[in-house]
Amino acid sequence: MNNDLPILLFDLDGTLVHTAPDLVATLNTILLRNDREPLPLESVVKLVGDGAQALLDRGFRETGAPAENLDALLGDFIEIYSNAATVHSHPFPNVIEVLEGFLETGHRMAVCTNKPQRPSETILRNLGLIDFFDLIVGGDRLAVRKPDSKHLTGTLELMNAVGQSAIMIGDSRNDVASARDAQMPVIVVSYGYTTIPPAELGGDILIDQFSDLPAAVSRLSA
């Protein structure tokens, strides 16, 4: 660990891991149980980014009308998804190698995701990523979540790193907005889940592949 290096805060879905296939499968299971039509992958990707409850709500609206029992459906979703979150999901190319490099260099790292805590930890554990991170802070661990900057600053507090420099790495406007409000630089990946063109999200640096991240971090740390 090197306290002179910035802490790296990562989004999960669309940044570290391609989670969309298993999100689609779980959402469609819930939709079919409630006499709704399933949604294709390309439609669900546009609905991801604000947590499981928002995904469910958007999925039901997309297939006809709002869900009447969203809280109950959310419990079902988390239960199903937590048991099948890594059937088709996988880290994006070069993620493991790059994280290994950051760990060897001495960077502390954490995950800040709007995905609920339980499936977030399941995914990272099953895919062999969890040991890279000091902390996982899901969307239901704190009282707030992205785009609220307290999701990021609260993570730093839990890491006993208040006042230490940090960089956010993500793929969405929530990632950029939370970092901006926290006065934290942000790196945007172009391959993630966003309905807004990545170049228009307003990140400090845009990268097209995860292997470009070390150079981007070095630029922002100079």
| Token digits of residue 160 | 């006993």
* 9 within 8 A of 164, measured Cβ to Cβ: no
* 169 within 8 A of 149, measured Cβ to Cβ: no
Pairing mode of beta strands 109-112, 135-137: parallel
DSSP reduced 3-state for 88? coil
CA distances from 59 to 5, 7, 49 (A): 41, 35, 13
**175 has catalytic annotation:** no
* 134 within 8 A of 109, measured Cβ to Cβ: yes
Given the residues 11, 50, 57, 175, the one annotated as active site: 11
| Token digits of residue 172 | 């969405």
Catalytically active residues, by annotation = 11
